[in-house]
Amino acid sequence: MNVLWTWIAAGLTLAIFSFLYKDNPFYKFAEHIYVGSSAAFWFIYLWYFDIKPKLLDAWVMNTGFEKYILIVPAILSVMMLTRFIPQIAWISRWAIAFTVGMGAGLGITGALQGFLVPQVQATMLPLWEPVSSSTLYNLGHSLNNLLLVLGTITAIFYFYFSREHKGGLGVLSKIGITFIMVAFGASFGYTIMARVSLLIGRIYFLFHDWLHLV
């Protein structure tokens, strides 16, 4: 049975890889199986890991406030289903508005506490910091701090929208976008390395598990 599944997995892997040449019936076949089975999987997943435990089972097991608060998400869910009835489809907007409002509210505090404030604190670095007896080491350390501070401040100027980027602001924003692009370049190389390791994993599956060549 395992051999059969290995052949199916290898066949589907090759069918997906065939897209590198051009769109073809093998790719279409694998793509439709993938999209269809993943959509079905997520439907089952949502039922067993969201709707059943968090709504139905929780309704049976909880008492008092914890039980009756479940009426709110249940009503919002039913509101979403009104989209199937064109005459009252507008009711679904209320559920969407609730989700969007909640997301925006949570996003503000999350971004503030998770990114903004820690970033503000991390940028307050001394431009001269004697951390070692070696002057050369101290110079290197201080230069590193200077680059971090300069990169952060000029990158903020790049995202300043209220004035045209000309003159002094233009110079600062150009330095800022240069820092951003250097960071993106490093990130690009790092991520490509990770993708290559994923490819190696798939090639290894074909040559080891399927063809037994390595």
Partner 1 sequence: MKSPPIVPLPVPSVRAYDTPNDAGGSITVEWELSPVDSVVRMYEVYRLEGSPEAEPVSAGFVLRGTQKFQDNNLKDGETYYYFVRTWVGEEYADSRLSNPAVPSAQWFHTGRKSALVILLIYGGLLFYYLQQARSGKPLYIRKIAGLEAVDEAVGRSTEMGRPILFIPGIGYVSDIPTLAALAILKRVAKKAAEYEAEIIVPNFDPIVMTAAQEVVKEGFMEAGRPDLYNEKNVYFLTADQFGYAAGVDGIMVREKPGAVFLQGVFYAESLILAETGHSIGAIQISGTTSVTQLPFFIAATDYTLIGEEMYAASAYLSRDPLSLSTIKAEDVAKLGFIAVFLIGILLETLAAITGNQALHFFKNWFSLF
CA 46 to CA 32: how far, in whole Å?
21
Q: How far is the CB of 212 from partner 1 (least distance, A)?
A: 27
Applying CB under 8 A, does 127 fall inside the site for partner 1? yes
Q: How many residues bind partner 1, per CB under 8 A? A: 67
Applying CB under 8 A, does 42 fall inside the site for partner 1? yes
Instruction: Kindly tell me which residue out of 126, 132, 134, 199 binds partner 1, with binding defined by CB under 8 A.
Output: 126
Applying CB under 8 A, does 164 fall inside the site for partner 1? yes
Applying CB under 8 A, does 62 fall inside the site for partner 1? no
Task: Give the range of 55-63, 64-72, 111-119, 199-207 binding partner 1 by CB under 8 A.
Answer: 111-119
Instruction: Kindly tell me which residue out of 69, 71, 100, 203 binds partner 1, with binding defined by CB under 8 A.
Output: 100
Q: Give Cβ neighbours of residue 159 (< 8 Å, ≥ 6 apart).
A: 176
Structure token pair of residue 43: 């439907």
Applying CB under 8 A, does 77 fall inside the site for partner 1? no
Site for partner 1, rule CB under 8 A: 16, 19, 22-23, 27-28, 30-31, 34-39, 41-42, 80, 83, 92-93, 96, 99-100, 102-104, 106-109, 111-113, 116-118, 120-121, 123-130, 149, 152-153, 156-157, 159-165, 180-181, 183-185, 187-188, 191, 195
